[in-house]
Structure 1
Amino acid sequence: MKLAVIGFGNAGGKIADRIVEYEGETGRSLCRFSAVVNTASVDLEKITHIPRQNRVLIGQTDERSKGHGAGADPELGSELTRQDRPELARFLDSVPLHDIDAFLVIGGLGGGTGSGGGPVLAEILADRYDEPVYGLGILPSRDEGGRASLNAARSVQSYTEETDGLIVFDNNAWKDGGDTIEDGYERTNYEIAKRVVTLLGAGEYDGTTVSENAMDSSDINRTLAVGGVSSIAFAETDVDQSTRRQQGLLSRVRSGGSSDGDDVDAATKVHSLVRRAVQSRLTCPAQVHSTERALVVVSGPPTELAQKGLVRARQWLEGEIGSVEVLAGDDPRPGSDVLSATVLLSNVTDVPRIDRLQEQAVDAQSNIEQQAAGRQDEISELITDDEDRLDPI
């Protein structure tokens, strides 16, 4: 799939930047256009891999922001984006529409700019272009507080309404107690980039071996087209170097390819890896049986990509989600030292984390309203005398 990737806000910008970096490190061909949009000029300076001319500052003429951010206020983030819609529209004219299959808007959902402005950008893109617009939303961890939970719960609704499908990554599920805050974000951004690039980059010819069971953008679009919230499963295993050399030699000297025993071993390995991916940590934990559609990409050295294993994995996953809407393909990477399985679970409807997030958000909103209601009385009591004999100047 060929993408126009746009990071919105601080978290979204860093992740978009990491996706471009990871794409280059792995020799993939995915991003035909990349950009970041922010209300804080300082955050744009942290971007290193997206071209400077594609770093867009909005809200700099608004007295509430002046280029210093939205202050974790999604209403302000949304308003600043709408105000600068003409400037954004002119910038988007530089997107090579002839060379992309979809847009991907990335935003952190707990702050102000990404949570409020990202859905507005998605709305602008959907109004202007025919290409699908997908979202990648990052849920805050619980220790980021009630305000972040409230912002995220509201933003999930906005992103799902304005995009053709929202892929969710839950920071709370990936938090490691031993990480510093900075190291934690670096690690999770890498994990996000690895999954997004491996999944969405499948099927694009970049000089590598042509896939036997090709996965292309139409397959990804079909899977995500049902909308709602999606999660990504991933697992990988190292490839034994001696096995790779032996299989490579056999493939050159035998017209019939590997032996039956090799085929069985490779098929079992692929099938087991897909099962391990689905049964391990998802980008956002969800009940797999609530999935509407799924897509499987197995990536690695061509000698490891057993078609029988893919068939068995697809059949197993159909049983797990109770649907025949499962697509599966391979992604040959001759220079790779690992075999990986990436599974897109689309329109999952049983997501405990989002349910809990909504509960936290309702509590947070109730507390904010109660505090606001009593605050004016407390201020009045503070600044006036008991018998109300003093008048203000």
Structure 2
Amino acid sequence: MKVFCFGIGETGSKLVDTLTEFEQGSPADFIVDGVACSTARADFQSLDTIPQSKQLVFGAGDTATDEAQAAELAEEDHRQLLRGTDDAPVSRADAFVICAGLGEVTSGASPVLAKHLKRVHDQPVYGIGVLPELEETHRVDTALRTLRKFVAATDHVIGADAETAGSTEAAVTAVTRRFGTLCAAGEGGDGIAESVVDASEIINTLRGGGVATLGYATSELPERETGGLTQTVKRLIGADEPDPVDDLDAQNRITTHTREALLGQLTFPCAVDSTSRGLVVVSGPPAWLNRSAIEQSRSWVEDETECLEIRGGDYPRPSANQIGVLVLLAGVSPAERIEALRAAAEGSEQTSE
């Protein structure tokens, strides 16, 4: 799935920057363009891949003290936000993605940008929202309010929980790898999939709105045998063949990683049986993509989530030395996590009184 990315504020801009770095190391091109937006140019200092021409300051120099004021500034200066699409190949994008640290004041601009993108363009608009750690009490209340508006304004929001990941930086890294893998899976690369996960599959999974979460688990594969004169000659003449794969090992890795991805590696904790739709993508060298194990894993996720709309696919990567499983759960209920955030916000209010 090809995406046009907007980063709002410091965390959102860094997320787009990190996603661009991930794409540069991926065999597939999936980012049409990336834009960073904030009310302060200082939020762009840590960016490495987004050029200065795509770093947009909005708000006419005003500073917001809360997310509501940031939303007002974004509404007044929405043309500046949309300037990121000027002269860009927007028609190549299957979707827009707005990234934001939901605890930051500037995140209030995210729903406003989503509204105007949907007004001007036909593609779906998704969000990636990073929620703060519970100890960041000054940000938790902002995150709760912004998340609610963000979900209402977009076609779906993928949550990334800093508390679960251990830090905001870790949450950004985790969701970047997962979302990047999801987008890259259907964009060709260096292998041909038996069951392609194209943009329509992802869009169908994310239809209906709500909150989504991504799980991912991976392991290194055994090193190939590289010694011996015969093997060296074969590589030189292009007749090198992959080492034989133990089917049982391939099956065990795929099924084990599926369990790990679903039950312990989600970007946003949720009740998995609240899932409305889902997608399972297995990536790795073609010889390791055991069809029986892929179908078994998809069926297992279907049983665990009690959801009959679980799609499955593969992402062949001939040059990879890992096998991984990505799980996308859409339309989930993160009620327990939201309650924890709400309790932290209420505790902060009581302490300040």
Considering the TM-score relative to the shorter chain, is it more than 0.5? yes
Match of 2:292 among 290, 304, 308: 308
Q: Deviations over 1:26-61 (max 9, x none)?
A: 333110111110111111232110122111001134
Gaps of at least 5 residues in structure 2 are none
Q: Is residue 84 of structure 1 aligned with residue 77 of structure 2? A: yes
Q: Distance in 1 between matches of 2:61 and 2:7?
A: 21
Q: Please tell me the residue identity of whatever aligns with 1:124.
A: H
Question: 1:187 Cα deviation (Å)?
Answer: 3.6
Q: Please tell me the residue identity of whatever aligns with 2:343.
A: E
Match of 2:344 among 344, 347, 360: 360
> What secondary structure sits across from 1:241 in the alignment?
coil
Question: 1:332 Cα deviation (Å)?
Answer: 0.9
Matched ranges for 1:130-145 at <5 A: 130-145=122-137
Q: Tell me what 2:30 maps to.
A: 30
Q: Please tell me the residue identity of whatever aligns with 1:52.
A: Q
Q: Distance in 1 between matches of 2:147 and 2:127?
A: 10
Instruction: Kindly indicate whether the alpha-carbon contact (under 8 Å) linking 1:150 and 1:364 is maintained by their aligned counterparts in 2.
Output: no
Question: 1:359 Cα deviation (Å)?
Answer: 3.5
Matched ranges for 1:120-269 at <5 A: 120-145=112-137, 147-175=138-166, 184-206=167-189, 208-242=190-224, 262-269=246-253
C-alpha change, 1:12 and 1:112, in structure 2 (3 Å) is: same
Q: Please tell me the residue identity of whatever aligns with 2:308.
A: V
Q: Distance in 1 between matches of 2:148 and 2:169?
A: 27
> What secondary structure sits across from 1:79 in the alignment?
helix
Q: Deviations over 1:237-296 (max 9, x none)?
A: 1111237999x99xx899xx998x833432332122212211213101112111111101
Q: Distance in 1 between matches of 2:219 and 2:225?
A: 14
Q: Please tell me the residue identity of whatever aligns with 1:197.
A: G
Q: Distance in 2 between matches of 1:366 and 1:74?
A: 21
Larger radius of gyration: 1
- Aligned residue pairs, count: 345
Question: 1:364 Cα deviation (Å)?
Answer: 4.8
> What secondary structure sits across from 2:25 in the alignment?
helix
Q: Please tell me the residue identity of whatever aligns with 1:156.
A: L
Q: Distance in 2 between matches of 1:185 and 1:89?
A: 27
Q: Distance in 1 between matches of 2:13 and 2:310?
A: 32
Matched ranges for 1:297-376 at <5 A: 297-362=281-346, 364=348
Q: Tell me what 1:47 maps to.
A: 47
Q: Tell me what 1:375 maps to.
A: none
Identity %: 32
Gaps of at least 5 residues in structure 1 are 176-183, 372-393
Q: Please tell me the residue identity of whatever aligns with 2:322.
A: V
C-alpha change, 1:120 and 1:243, in structure 2 (3 Å) is: farther
Q: Tell me what 1:101 maps to.
A: 94
Question: 1:366 Cα deviation (Å)?
Answer: 7.0
Q: Distance in 2 between matches of 1:266 and 1:272?
A: 10
Question: 1:188 Cα deviation (Å)?
Answer: 3.4
C-alpha change, 1:351 and 1:304, in structure 2 (3 Å) is: farther
Q: Deviations over 1:90-123 (max 9, x none)?
A: 4323332221100010000111002x01111111
> What secondary structure sits across from 1:242 in the alignment?
coil
